[in-house]
Amino acid sequence: MLFSIFKKKSTERPIYKVADADIYSKEFQQNFYKHYPAFYDLGDVVFLEKSNCYAVFRYESARTVLNNHETFSSSHLKTVDAVLLGADGKKHLRNKKVVLQNIVSLNREQLHTTNDFFHSVFEKLWSSLSVDSSVNIVDKLVNPLTLTLIFHELGIHQVPEEWNVFSDKTTLKTKSEAIAEVFSDWNLLNDLVAHNLKEEHLREKLKRLLQLINSEGWYSPEELSRFVRLFIMAGAETTASLIASSIYLLTQRSNDVERLRNHSGYVTDFLNETLRLYAPAQFTFRYTEKEAVVGKQKIPAGSVVAIAIGAANRDPAIFEQPDVFMPGRTAKHIAFGMGRHKCVGEYLSAYLAQMFLGKLLLHWERFDFAKEATVNNTVFAYKVSNLNATLRK
């Protein structure tokens, strides 16, 4: 994730295989999947000299790191968020509970409350599509829909037009370019949150939530926008990525159109395999509070550890023919992370993807999809950004 990026000087030299790749480079991020196969044979932990961090690419190693939050801390992410991913220990647990209980759409049982709003947004976007000319489905439907829905869940009902191109802001740049650009946009977000705070509904929903989270008192507008920012960063781009990848796969697998229409249970397998094959969040990061052991290897205290989620999901030791789309596999992907910081938006994003596919399948025969799609990764995130189609009457 974008806000995970930082470097720290490691004092000890590695005793591991040192890989040449730089995960922070454009070259690496332009095509994550080209690079991953080289790492599986290098051991449980690899030292990336150019990126100055340790990294785990194997499935079991990634699980070891994610499941041990005491040794592998995520509190260094607090520059952006001290509420959830950037908080450790009791504070994190308490906040997570509050968030899960108070944002109803994060709760699997109550997701249907989002239904009406989803339909109305989809219909509005759908009716704005021009017939008989080529449109980019990702720009015109996927991005605005996910962004509007997530803002809505937080209690923000007016999303300015410029936010619908949010993903363009993070489209592959160098680490520092992307950070600078995204952070300059937070000013826009501050304004948006400040504006919405004047609205009664937001005051009730978002403020109540944050008051619960912050026992010290009210969050300032800046802190409120940090919280909103975490949800937008963590939720919008990733969910849009899942939906875009699943549509892309459908364009390549025409038999699945009928299968999805006729077997409602198949959609879960289809989406899980999409998440495995094209993990929206390719990397996350931890910091070792003490010396750590992963498999047979040690990592010194005070080190940055990169967890290659996308690589772990294609580990050949776990997934037979890892690059092939095979829904219904028994081994579970880790696209939503695992352990204490496992994603809070897992059910919401699966629900949105499912609803979206359902709508699209109703009109599927009316689309002429272009043969090629463009993958335009954002920093540490995988994203099909161009899916052109012509809609027939």
Q: What residues line the site for ligand HEM (CB under 6 A)?
A: 66, 74, 84-85, 96, 150, 230-231, 234-235, 238-239, 242, 280-281, 284, 309, 335-337, 341, 343-345, 348-349
Closest approach of ligand HEM to the CB of residue 305, in Å: 11
Closest approach of ligand HEM to the CB of residue 153, in Å: 6
CB nearer ligand HEM, residue 39 or residue 227 = 227
CB nearer ligand HEM, residue 51 or residue 274 = 274
Strands, sheet with 283-288, edge to edge from the N-terminal-most edge strand: 18-19, 46-48, 53-56, 304-308, 283-288, 72-73
CB nearer ligand HEM, residue 250 or residue 391 = 250
Q: Report the relative pairing of strands 297-299 and 292-294 from DSSP bridges.
A: antiparallel
Closest approach of ligand HEM to the CB of residue 229, in Å: 11
Closest approach of ligand HEM to the CB of residue 365, in Å: 27
Closest approach of ligand HEM to the CB of residue 347, in Å: 9
Closest approach of ligand HEM to the CB of residue 14, in Å: 23
CB nearer ligand HEM, residue 51 or residue 246 = 246
CB nearer ligand HEM, residue 259 or residue 340 = 340
CB nearer ligand HEM, residue 348 or residue 355 = 348
